[in-house]
Structure 1
């Protein structure tokens, strides 16, 4: 659901896999195309095998035309939180919370809070609906991937 102040778009799901399995996918930039619900992430251009705070990674993208996007990890706590940004001020954030049954509650957020209000409103109006749909689709793919990677014990 969209934030009423147009600060972000987010969605949450519960994945029947441990946080370590979910985080392993998110912290591996080579797997981002695997879970991308927007259909724009095509391949890794360059970057480390495992992300950490300050890591930079590039990806091939395509939305109409092909382009490359460079990202930097700006928030990081192993198995709990990872966020990156590119040239804009917005961040893609994943927050992981273990559940009592060994699963993980995951919230993905497109965080616009670092922009002034007029820019937040403009970005949200222009890209918000599509971004919300992409977030929801990404969480479905992330759930499928993490549960498959965790194996039968997860499901």
Structure 2
């Protein structure tokens, strides 16, 4: 864990990390709500830029497809947006049932608390996710994502 990113307890079978970013919530939400920009955010190194399919501004019910690469193998993931509150929250469901959730809390000083969550409580086999090491792997990716987001806006 880094000094800028903290672990947050959001419940069983959820991996959450939080950081304070020197940017308004609306700007950060716009970045995350555009799947064509997800490669800019990805701390895991698995999301690819090319051939993203879907709207540039996600809303509840939207589908989007992002090319990925893991262990040298390319594949595509089509997710469905399950929750969306403008400038506050966006969440999508992966085909395996787990969810990725981003929450944005605007602070009075103009900065934003950003919480990213990998929620595998909604999969058919959460024990398998744990056995395969996804919680630990995704914790590292989320931490790297938030560290990069903090650094990106600190430089402005």
Indicate the TM-score class for this superposition, using the shorter chain for normalisation.
0.7 to 0.9
Contact 1:22/1:142 (CA < 8 Å) preserved in 2? Answer: no
CA displacement, residues 26-49 of structure 1 (integer Å, 9 cap, x when unaligned): 011111001100100002421111
Contact 1:13/1:139 (CA < 8 Å) preserved in 2? Answer: yes
Tell me the TM-score normalised to structure 2 length: 0.85
CA distance in 2, matches of 1:41, 1:98: 27
Q: CA-atom RMSD, angstroms? A: 2.1
Query: Aligned in 2, Cα 1:67/1:115: closer, same or farther, shift over 3 Å?
Result: closer
What's the counterpart of residue 89 of structure 2? Answer: 81
Tell me the TM-score normalised to structure 1 length: 0.86
Structure 2 unmatched runs, 5+: 1-6
CA distance in 2, matches of 1:45, 1:105: 28
CA displacement, residues 9-66 of structure 1 (integer Å, 9 cap, x when unaligned): 1100000111001001001111100110010000242111111111111111000200
How many pairs are equivalent? Answer: 147
What's the counterpart of residue 145 of structure 2? Answer: 138
CA distance in 2, matches of 1:4, 1:92: 13
Alignment partner of 1:18 is 2:24: yes
What secondary structure does 2:68 align onto? strand
What's the counterpart of residue 13 of structure 2? Answer: 7
Higher helix share: 1
Query: Aligned in 2, Cα 1:5/1:122: closer, same or farther, shift over 3 Å?
Result: farther
CA distance in 1, matches of 2:135, 2:78: 21
